[in-house]
């Protein structure tokens, strides 16, 4: 694995880095055309990132190739348009993975080994017929990381990064893995931009969506819980589509995942330490810095560790916020959020954390991933602000009944934020009962 050390080489100008093998269906004709385009790029010293340049170069080389093939032993092109797309993907995209990245039905791509490439559609995993080599996988990872400023090597065998389209990349290399690199690419749906999209997709009822919109406008602090791939980030983005246009939003994440259509937004992500072990920027640091940026609303992509303490302190300062957390249920999410701050140090105890969670968090929304692959909101809780023993009191406002999310008849007991915003959640919750 010593080949992982050092800086990543450029894909276009690197020797051998771009020639994907025929094992994943690149034809010999496409390989010839790809190499000719690379030769031309090196010869002319141009940058294929220019708008439309790669497509133009490829079209010209495909045309020249077709003309030569008619009077020579070169293999003929059965579909010029397909060949053009294939060559452009190998030059400017991510080669054999690009068709999956372009497919809106593919939600996630992962590579367990060069011969085991999987995708998930509608939450259902499937083994693809894509076959790579060790070098192909390494070259793909290098190219994906080129523009991120992040690295993966023996001293840092894990990496999280965001691809240009907003997808999240996670890579683990041997000897942390047994033999092969493990690569995960999680795509985020651009089709879900607001709560109405979730209602249309069956993940949320119109009544629950209207209540959550009311909560956002009232500045309620919302905790979104659920398992991996349950739709937490998607729901978080949909909720933020309901904020007022004059609000300033500051988001902090481990890697960029949220894509907000908001005018006044500042997005920050963590940074890995350098090779010398310096320069790391943690989520805790970002939350503290966010408070100095005049946020009207603070968004933390996900809390996993001691940064939960900094989040609670921020929310306790009066700044509305939202965050997500991995949990099996809405009530488990409250227990977990009450436990994670204890990781911040010995001077932090539950006598401080429990009432702080009860006082800061207003609403918990739990997302579920069904065995069929569908995602839905499974429950919505409202906290009362009180603690009985070691239990934070909360009432269930929405729950699954007869396979559908329905209002239970309970109402939030803390109404001050709603009243200050001129909103009446009781009127929404009464509908349909």
Domain boundary among 92, 117, 133: 92
- pLDDT value at residue 76: 82
pLDDT attached to residue 21: 33
Q: Is residue 432 part of a domain?
A: no
C-beta separation of 299 from 277 below 8 A? no
Q: How many domains does the chain have?
A: 3
Residue 152 within any structural domain of the chain: yes
Q: Supply the range of the domain harboring residue 204.
A: 195-427
Residue 155 and residue 51 share a domain = no
Do 412 and 328 reside in the same domain of the chain?
yes
Tokens of 207: 């009544």
Say what percent of the chain tops pLDDT 70. Answer: 92
Instruction: Indicate if 249 and 324 belong to the same structural domain.
Output: yes
In a domain, 9, yes or no: no
Other CB atoms within 10 A of residue 25 CB: 14
Count of other CB atoms within 10 angstroms of residue 284 = 18
| Contact criterion met (CB below 8 Å) for 247 and 321 | no
Task: Tell me: do 403 and 312 sit in the same domain.
Answer: yes
Q: What is the pLDDT of residue 3?
A: 39
180: burial class by Cβ within 10 Å (0-12, 13-18, 19+)? middle
- Low-confidence stretches of the chain (pLDDT < 70) are 1-27, 49-50, 147, 189-191, 431-433
Taking residue 112's Cβ as centre, other Cβ atoms within 10 Å add up to 15
Dmax (CA) of the chain: 86
Do 337 and 329 contact (CB within 8 A), yes or no?
no
Residue 16 lies in a domain: no
CATH of the domain at 309: 3.40.50.300
Q: Which of 68, 92, 116 is the last residue of a domain?
A: 92
Closest by CA position to 383, among listed 413, 355, 410, 417: 413
Q: How far is Cα 211 from Cα 219, in angstroms, rounded to an integer?
A: 13
In a domain, 275, yes or no: yes
Q: Are residues 76 and 203 in the same domain?
A: no
288 in the same domain as 268: yes
- Name the token pair of 94: 């991510």
Q: Of the candidates 158, 186, 214, which is a domain's last residue?
A: 186
User: CATH code at 141?
Assistant: 3.30.450.90
Task: Report yes or no on 166 lying in a domain.
Answer: yes
The Cα 277–Cα 266 span in angstroms is 27
Contacts by 127-131 with C-beta closer than 8 Å and gap 24+?
128/100, 130/24, 130/25, 130/96, 130/97, 131/23, 131/24
Cut 0.95: pTM above it = no
State residue 81 phi and psi, 5-degree precision: -65, -45
Per-residue HEC secondary structure of the chain comes to CHHHCCCCCCCCCCCCCCCCCHHHCCCHHHHHHHHHHHHHHHHHCCCCCCCCHHHHHHHHHHHHHHHHHHCCCCCCCCCHHHHHHHHHHHHHCCHHHHHHHHCCCEEEEEEEECCEEEEEECCEEEECCCCCCHHHHHHHHHHHHCCCCCCCECCECEEEEECCCCCEEEEECECCECCCCEEEEECCCCCCCCHHHHHHCCCCCHHHHHHHHHHHHCCCCEEEEECCCCCHHHHHHHHHCCCCCCCCEEEEECCCCCCCCCCCEEEEECECCCCCCCCCECHHHHHHHHCCCCCCEEEECCCCCCHHHHHHHHHCCCCCEEEEEECCCHHHHHHHHHHHHHHHCCCCCHHHHHHHHHHHCCEEEEEEECCCCCEEEEEEEEEEEEEECCEEEEEEEEEEECCEEEECCCCCCCCHHHHHCCCCHHHHHHCCC
- Please give the structure tokens belonging to residue 95: 């080669």
- pLDDT tens track for 308-344: 999 999 999 889 999 999 999 999 999 999 999 999 9
> Are residue 276 and residue 399 in the same domain, yes or no?
yes
Residue pLDDT, tens place only, 150-199:
888 888 899 998 888 888 999 999 989 999 999 999 987 666 789 999 99
Instruction: Tell me, yes or no, whether 21 lies in a domain.
Output: no
159 and 38 housed in the same domain: no
Asked whether 33 and 62 are in contact (CB, 8 A), the reply is: yes
268 and 405 within one domain: yes
Whether residues 215 and 230 fall in one domain: yes
Decide if 123 is inside a domain.
yes
* Separation of alpha carbons 88 and 82, rounded Å: 10
Cis preceding-peptide flag for 406 (omega within 30 of 0): no
User: Do 33 and 71 belong to one domain?
Assistant: yes
Q: Are residues 161 and 295 in the same domain?
A: no
């Amino acid at each position: 694995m010593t080949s992982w050390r050092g800086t990543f080489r450029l894909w276009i100008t690197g020797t051998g880095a771009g020639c994907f093998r025929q094992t994943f269906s690149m034809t010999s004709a496409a390989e010839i055309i790809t190499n000719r385009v690379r030769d031309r790029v090196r010869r002319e010293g141009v940058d294929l990132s220019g708008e439309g340049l790669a497509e133009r170069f490829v079209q010209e080389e495909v045309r020249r190739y077709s003309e030569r093939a008619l009077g020579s032993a070169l293999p003929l092109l059965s579909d010029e348009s397909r060949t053009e797309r294939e060559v452009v993907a190998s030059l400017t995209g991510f080669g054999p993975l690009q068709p999956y990245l372009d497919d809106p039905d593919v939600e996630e791509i992962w590579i367990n080994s060069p011969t085991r490439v999987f995708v998930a559609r509608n939450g259902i995993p499937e083994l693809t017929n894509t076959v790579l080599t060790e070098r192909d996988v390494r070259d793909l990872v290098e190219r994906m990381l080129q523009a991120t400023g992040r690295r993966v090597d023996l001293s840092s065998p894990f990496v999280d990064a965001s691809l240009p389209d907003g997808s999240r990349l996670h890579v683990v290399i041997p000897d942390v893995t047994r033999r092969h690199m493990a690569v995960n690419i999680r795509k985020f749906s651009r089709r879900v931009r607001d709560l109405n999209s979730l209602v249309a997709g069956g993940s949320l009822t119109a009544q629950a969506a209207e209540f959550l919109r009311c909560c956002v406008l009232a500045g309620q602090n919302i905790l979104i819980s659920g398992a991996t791939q349950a739709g937490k980030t998607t729901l978080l983005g949909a909720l933020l589509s309901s904020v007022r246009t004059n609000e300033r939003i500051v988001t902090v994440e481990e890697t960029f995942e949220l894509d907000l259509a908001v005018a006044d937004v500042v997005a920050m992500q963590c940074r890995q330490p350098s090779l010398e072990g310096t320069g790391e920027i943690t989520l805790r640091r970002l939350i503290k810095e966010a408070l100095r940026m005049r946020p009207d609303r603070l968004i933390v992509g996900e809390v996993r560790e001691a940064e939960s303490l900094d989040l609670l302190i921020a929310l306790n300062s009066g700044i509305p916020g939202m965050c997500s957390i991995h949990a099996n249920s809405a009530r488990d999410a409250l227990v977990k959020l009450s436990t994670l701050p204890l990781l911040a140090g010995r001077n932090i105890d539950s006598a401080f954390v429990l009432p702080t969670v009860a006082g800061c968090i207003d609403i918990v929304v739990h997302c579920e991933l069904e065995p069929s692959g569908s995602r839905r909101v499974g429950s919505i809780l409202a906290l009362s602000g009180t603690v009985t023993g070691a239990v934070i009191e909360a009432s269930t406002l929405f729950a699954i009944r007869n396979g559908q999310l329905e209002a239970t008849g309970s109402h939030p007991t803390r109404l001050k934020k709603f009243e200050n915003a001129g909103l009446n959640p009781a009127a929404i919750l009464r509908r349909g009962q």
